[in-house]
A = this chain, B = another copy of it.
């Protein structure tokens, strides 16, 4: 996982992480040259990565006008959250009748990491919060489901970047623990209800916020180029 098979992959994962951690904010332009320079690769590899990010809705590509971090409208944001509910209900439903104690332990370990990261910087804890949901999806063993949940969760990060206020400290750790408890009991009704409540809470953080000015893309990506 340290070095990817291809350079395109490396760029893809780096950009993805940069977007999810909100280092690259919605609306920010993503010029192929600048990114290529920063990562030390040609435009070809960058384009490949951008195409993929576009396919999963994290990046908008307008012909001959370049790529930019997607800016979901408020309307799209509501759709996406609605879809997320739909998908995560499916996840919870499947897990209730299949989850094992060791998998529950895995989830608890993840939440422990979340708690540890709560003190430190926002980006990490934001990413971990999302990855909890992706981990849930992975435990279903359904690759397509993982793909969709990953995608949706990423886009929700984007939405929170656009519409949420600075964001509250806890970031849902308690709710994650509640969910684990519900899964352990194996009762779909309560589990789904907890999930529903949790997602509602996440969504409720959405609120208008002004975009602010655009800093230099190279300085932002210098952090991400190292770990590519």
Contact = CB atoms under 8 A, between A and B. Distances in A.
A142 B90 CA distance: 20
Nearest to A47: B48
Contacts of A89: 86
Contacts of A5: 63
Contacts of A86: 86-87, 89-90
Contacts of A212: none
**How big is the A interface, by class?**
20 to 34
B57 A55 contact: no
Protomer copies: 2
A51 interface: yes
A144 B52 contact: no
A76 to B, nearest CB: 6
Interface of A: 5-6, 47-48, 51-52, 55-57, 63, 76, 79-80, 82-83, 86-87, 89-90, 142-145, 147-148, 155
Given A76-B143, A83-B90, 17 more contacts: A5-B63, A47-B48, A48-B48, A51-B51, A55-B55, A79-B142, A79-B143, A79-B145, A80-B144, A82-B142, A83-B144, A83-B145, A83-B148, A86-B86, A86-B87, A86-B89, A148-B148
